[in-house]
DNA sequence: CTGAAAGCGCTTACAG
DNA sequence: CTGAAAGCGCTTACAG
């Protein structure tokens, strides 16, 4: 069951491979192939079910019409939907998407970049991991088109599309403060990546602007990749150690989910006992009673901007070396988990 | 900034491309390359950062060490996590994964299969769409390795890994009946795909076994791809038209989510006004108050079985043409949305 | 133990 | 208007 090739088509039509190639690539007019010949070629291609071999084309042209998408975790709501939108947009532009999860592991990320490089991807959209700086710098030095999303690499100028994490965090904290909460706990992950750093800074600055000192023990950081159970356990322990907090700020989607589980297991009511706000939105936050106040990331916008920026770079419409990034504004959605605080007896 | 090739390595070492190739492919022993030469080659490869060009290798061997994963929607919890596990398992075995969403659209699915075919994927894991029969039959006829997941294609014998949808649905319904509910509504999507058909059959048979006739108007089917708003609207309308139902069975994850939203908007309490059960599990179902009783799909198991089955077929350890499938048992998780019914006045 | 060479299926500069 | 041919970077049968 041999696959049919351009040679077969050419032979059957008593023409040359060149002609067939021109027709396939829509260059028949430009190259002056007679419409009659072109039609004959097109018809036979359809009849024989011919499809050009990608490997040969890539080998020859060095272009794969494929972009590599490296995310943290494709199983996560945020990245799964980012991937979905990027894929759709890429297909619209004739590009395929190769995607893969780093699980926030540097080595996995490095391997993925090399692997995709060997597959001749035309460009990357990357969610960087913590120790990826050298590899990003290398891509940049070698003029490989790429766009960073979700987080920046400190001290490296690149193209990027990120959320304004600082503002989201500041505003979410301000909202709690405005509603009368002051003993606010902040739950995040250990990370030097920009997104997490900015979220913490936004929280701290909002607190400072309200003249509130944040005690270190009010801040809990867990390790990325820790099991759900251990995260929940850590949050429960934190709750016992901090009985005075009146509100909790979760710095990510999955921490919020784990946190709600921990609160339920600790028999603490939202918002009567503790108000809750979280970064990112999801079905749970929206439909839980009470629904959770969040700083939502406009997924569609982030995904669309990043793929379009990348395509512009690939098509050389935009200099890759000049820092051109998009900063997307988060959307604060106020729900029922953070109402105006009622005076306690 | 030219990439270094095997030729460059060979030239610099005054040896032949053949030798370099053997070393790269771990055949130096087998081919009797002297350990000294092999080491020299390996060292220079590392020094120069050489990586073999995939396109050339694929063109030459016809093998890409890549598998194509076609899912319904990568942004969905179930498929996102399926993808994640499959990717991990594939990497462990030296394979890459190309994945893409069909959005349940036949044409998209057909295009994806062709596109991946042209990229010389070594095999597929496919979530079929409704009109994909011919394409599946073609893959089978041409001896292309593939495994169907989540749903079968009617009247075509293939390798597959699917859930026992019938049992899951039957047991979930039986659970409601046992707890005293009898006016049960069934909400599903229009689909002739096996998974949906089996779920409906499981429900109907459980009802029939309890000697309960299901009125047609108790069954609501929505169109896949309909907007969330329209689905919620349809469910709300259904609730108004069926004020007597005492329990609702949602046939999928996202219908359950939409259903909960519809119930909230209609001011109906779970389970006091209406008990709820759903197929599939997710964070919302687990953490909502009350938590939702579900038939959960063992995602890890489904994903692992399917990739392993596919790899066995690719490696010819298993005949692809003989139907060998795995049927995975769903896990009924009884939560608080379907308690024993209390007698109403 | 190692090398020269064919060929995978394309694209494209060149020739006519 | 169309064709012959080089070459992308590998793998592998063949030769020695």
Pair B96, B65: CB distance under 8 Å: yes
Contact A38, A23 (CB under 8 A): yes
Nearest chain A Cα distance for residue B286, angstroms: 9
Report the chain A residue with the minimal C-alpha distance to residue B63: A55
Share of chain B above pLDDT 70, in %: 97
Task: With a cut of 90, say whether residue B333 has pLDDT above it.
Answer: yes
Mean pLDDT of B47-54: 90
B227 in contact with chain A, both atoms CB, cutoff 8 A: no
CATH number of B165-297: 3.40.50.2300
Count the alpha carbons within 13 Å of B261 in the hemisphere toward its beta carbon. 20
Q: Does the pLDDT of residue B345 top 50, yes or no?
A: no
Closest CA to B280 of B70, B101, B76: B76
Is B128 part of the contact surface with chain A (CB cutoff 8 Å)? no
Supply the pLDDT for residue B318. 72
Quick one: average pLDDT of B9-16?
A: 88
**Residues from chain A contacting residue B120 (CB–CB below 8 Å):** 53-55
> Dihedral of the CA atoms B202, B204, B206, B212 (nearest 10)?
170
- What is the CATH superfamily name and number for domain B66-163+299-330? Response regulator (3.40.50.2300)
**Is some CB atom of chain A closer than 8 A to the CB atom of B264?**
yes
pLDDT tens-digit series, residues B75-116: 988 999 999 999 999 999 989 998 899 998 999 999 999 989
Whether CB of B21 is under 7 Å from strand D: the answer is yes
CB–CB contact B289 A288 (8 Å): yes
* Structure confidence at residue B2 (pLDDT): 62
- Whole-Å CA distances, A244 to A6, A217, A255, A339, B266: 75, 12, 20, 18, 37
What the block records as the tokens of A176 is 């709690």
Whole-angstrom Cα Rg for chain B: 26
**Judging by beta carbons within 10 Å of its beta carbon (0-12, 13-18, 19+), is residue A255 exposed, middle or buried?**
buried
Chain A residues near residue B76 by CB distance under 8 angstroms: 80
A283 contacts in chain B (CB < 8 Å)? 257, 282-284
* B279-307 pLDDT per residue, tens: 999 989 999 989 999 999 999 999 999 99
| Reported pTM | 0.89
Calculate the average pLDDT of chain B.
92
Residue among A56, A84, A284 minimizing CB distance to B59: A56
Q: Could you count the other beta carbons within 10 Å of the beta carbon of residue B137? A: 14
Q: Is B1 strand, coil or helix?
A: coil
Gap from A51 CA to chain B (nearest CA, Å): 7
pLDDT at B330: 97
pLDDT digits (tens, 9 = 90+) for B110-151: 999 998 988 889 999 999 999 999 999 999 998 899 999 999
Find the helix or strand (DSSP H, E) in which B258 lies: helix B253-265
User: Can you give the pLDDT at residue B118?
Assistant: 86
Query: Is there a shared CATH topology between the A66-163+299-330 domain and the A165-297 domain?
Result: yes
Assess B289–A contact: CB distance below 8 Å, yes or no: yes
CA distance B161 to B154: 14
Whether A83 and chain B come into contact, CB under 8 Å, resolves to: yes
Is the predicted pLDDT of residue B166 greater than 80, yes or no? yes
Distance separating alpha carbons of residues A303 and A81, to the nearest angstrom: 9
Q: Are B318 and B276 in contact (CB under 8 A)?
A: no
Helix (H, G, I), strand (E, B) or coil at B276: strand
Options 1.25.40, 3.40.50, 1.20.81, 1.10.260; which CATH number does B6-61 get?
Answer: 1.10.260
For chain A, give every domain's residue range: 6-61, 66-163+299-330, 165-297
On the 0-12 / 13-18 / 19+ scale of CB atoms within 10 A, B251 is: buried
Question: What stretches in chain A show pLDDT beneath 50?
Answer: 345
In chain B, which residues have their Cβ closer than 8 Å to the Cβ of A1?
142-143
For β-strands B160-163 and B325-328, DSSP reports them as parallel
């Amino acid at each position: 069951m041999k696959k049919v090739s351009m040679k077969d088509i050419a032979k059957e039509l008593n023409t040359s491979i060149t002609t067939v190639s021109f027709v396939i690539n829509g260059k028949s007019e430009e190259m002056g192939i007679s419409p009659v010949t072109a039609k004959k070629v097109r018809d036979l291609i359809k009849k024989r079910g011919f499809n050009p071999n990608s490997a040969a084309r890539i080998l020859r042209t060095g272009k794969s019409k494929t972009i590599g998408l490296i995310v943290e975790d494709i199983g996560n709501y945020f990245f799964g939907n980012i991937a979905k939108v990027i894929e759709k947009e890429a297909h619209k532009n004739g590009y395929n998407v190769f995607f893969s999860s780093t699980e926030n592991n540097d080595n996995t990320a490095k391997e993925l970049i090399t692997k995709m490089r060997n597959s001749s991807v035309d460009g990357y959209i990357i969610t960087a991991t913590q120790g990826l700086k050298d590899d990003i710098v290398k891509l940049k030095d070698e003029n490989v088109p790429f766009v960073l999303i979700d987080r920046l690499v400190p001290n490296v100028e690149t193209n990027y599309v990120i959320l304004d994490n600082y503002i989201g965090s500041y505003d979410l904290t301000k909202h709690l403060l405005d509603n009368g909460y002051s003993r606010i706990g902040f739950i995040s992950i250990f990370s030097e990546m920009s997104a997490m750093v900015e979220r913490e800074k936004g929280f701290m600055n909002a607190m400072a602007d309200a003249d509130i000192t944040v005690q270190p023990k009010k801040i809990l950081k867990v390790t990325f990749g820790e099991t759900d159970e251990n995260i929940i356990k850590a949050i429960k322990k934190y709750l016992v150690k901090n009985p005075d907090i009146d509100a909790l700020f979760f710095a990510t989607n999955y921490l919020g989910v784990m946190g709600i589980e921990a609160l339920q297991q600790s028999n603490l009511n939202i918002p009567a006992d503790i108000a809750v706000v979280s970064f990112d939105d999801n079905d749970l936050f929206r439909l839980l009673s009470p629904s959770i106040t969040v700083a939502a990331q406009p997924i569609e916008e982030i995904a669309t901007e990043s793929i379009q920026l990348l395509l512009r770079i690939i098509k050389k419409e935009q200099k890759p070396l000049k820092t051109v990034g998009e900063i997307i504004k988060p959307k604060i959605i106020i729900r029922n988990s953070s109402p105006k605080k009622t005076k306690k007896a």
